[in-house]
Amino acid sequence: MTPLTPMDANETLLRMENVNIVFSSPDEADIEAVRQVDFTLTRGKTLALVGESGCGKSVTARAILRLLDKNARIDHGRILFSADGGEPTDIAALGSDSKAMRSIRGNRISMIFQEPMSSLSPVHTIGDQIDEMIMLHDDVEQKSARERTVELLDQVGIPGPRQRADSYPFQLSGGLRQRAMIAMALACKPDLLIADEPTTALDVTTQAQILDLLRALQAEYGMAMLFITHDLGVVAEIADEVAVMYLGDVVEQGNVFDVFRAPQHPYTRALMSSIPRMTRRAQRERLNPIQGNVPSPRNRPEGCAFTTRCPHAFAPCSSVHPGRTPAGEGHWARCHLLTHEDAPRVEGILQPGVPAIEGDRA
């Protein structure tokens, strides 16, 4: 076994290194749904994984728990996870139903999903479903597990938790169901909570409440959070860091303030300018959507995936996959504009030979 690189003891919790995920089908060529994902999750911090539908963000999140469908596999790359700051485990190398993986799942890393109605079993009470999680990982009796369940339900703001524990999911409102889901995910005090679009199926007021709740619980439990969303408003509200995905690549990652203030990748810039702004009539501008459609992963350019829609594409873009290029403290992007001397000049991007000006686009 190759020695794994030790991780910064109190900082890094999980590091994805060069992970790709391949879907195979008996009739067609393999599809590389996720091409090259690198990111790190830090204790107590939230990383938002942003991108449009089908860009591979949910698949990436599921890969961390090894919950991919049978036809998907992690082809190469490492997912290094270190719960107690010691020797990290490579999750990508574990068997998906192995004991080691199962003791991480739910216990050290847990997950909440988009649709709490369909993600909870319709024929078991929420109390049963949470008790099960506790009894699975902690060696306790049903009775004390239920005590903990009631405590958790109370903590996530469910009124009358003792009675509610005996309710079935269909007897609760959408917001309460998602709270119950969160209570379940927190049952074993995980180090990492993966939230896969947890507010998408909820109405806006409930959304805000759930985000507040997640933030408060994160502060209390000191866990890291991987928050998957396509909503940049939600990112601004909850994330410390953001990673932007496009068609299986992480194209840009950094501190949420840096990325929002001075996005370096043309895709991130396009995303930002396609957010409608509330302004007075005289100052209104036409919304600036991204041209074209996302190509299917089958037709993805060999080089940068965004080439077909990028307004600044030039010679190397379609054939050479751009490397990670630093664009500030802990901020980097994969774009040839950042490295090539002969690239077209684009305002606001840190290009070689152009003096850096602090962008004041925002």
**Contact flag: residue 37 with another protein (CB under 8 A):** no
- Give the burial class of 53: count Cβ atoms within 10 A of its Cβ; 0-12 exposed, 13-18 middle, 19 or more buried: exposed
Task: Establish if 133 lies at the interface with another protein (CB under 8 A).
Answer: yes
Among 51, 56, 106, 175, binds another protein (CB under 8 A): 106
Q: Which two tokens stand for residue 286?
A: 């036409």
129: nearest Cα among 146, 114, 112: 146
Name the nearest CA neighbour of 241 among 61, 34, 15, 40. Answer: 40
**Residue 168 interacts with another protein (CB under 8 A)?**
yes
DSSP 8-state symbol, 187: T
Written as six digits, the tokens of 267 are 């895709």
Q: Using the rule CB under 8 A, which residue among 113, 227, 246, 332 binds another protein? A: 113
State the CB neighbour count (10 A cutoff) for residue 342. 10
Q: Is the dihedral of CA 164, 166, 172, 177 positive or negative?
A: positive
Per CB under 8 A, does 171 bind another protein? yes
Q: Binder to another protein among 90, 115, 138, 240 (CB under 8 A)? A: 115
Count of CA atoms in the C-beta half-sphere (13 A) of 39: 31
Rounded to the nearest 10 degrees, the angle between the axes of helix 174-186 and helix 204-221 is: 20
- State yes or no: residue 122 binds another protein (CB under 8 A): yes
CA neighbor of 167 nearest in space, from 123, 135, 204: 123
Instruction: Specify the residue, 167 or 253, whose C-beta has the smaller distance to another protein.
Output: 167
Pick from 14, 145, 184, 239 the residue near another protein by CB under 8 A. Answer: 184
- Report in angstroms how near the CB of residue 86 gets to another protein at its nearest: 20
Closest approach, Cβ 73 to another protein, in A, equals: 16
Question: Phi-psi bin for 124: left (phi > 0), alpha (psi -120 to 50), beta?
Answer: beta
Our finding on whether 24 is near another protein (CB under 8 A) is no
- 20, 46, 110, 253: residue in contact with another protein (rule CB under 8 A): 110
Residue 63-102 contact track with another protein, rule CB under 8 A, x = bound: --x-x-----------------------------x----x
Decide whether 65 or 91 has the Cβ nearer to another protein: 65
Among 89, 91, 131, 132, indicate the residue that binds another protein (CB under 8 A).
132
Interface with another protein includes 103 (CB under 8 A)? yes
C-alpha 56/C-alpha 250 separation (Å) is 10
User: For another protein, which is the closer residue by CB, 72 or 251?
Assistant: 72
Q: In the complex, which residues of this chain contact another protein (CB under 8 A)?
A: 62, 65, 67, 97, 102-107, 110-111, 113, 115, 118-125, 132-133, 136-137, 168, 170-171, 184
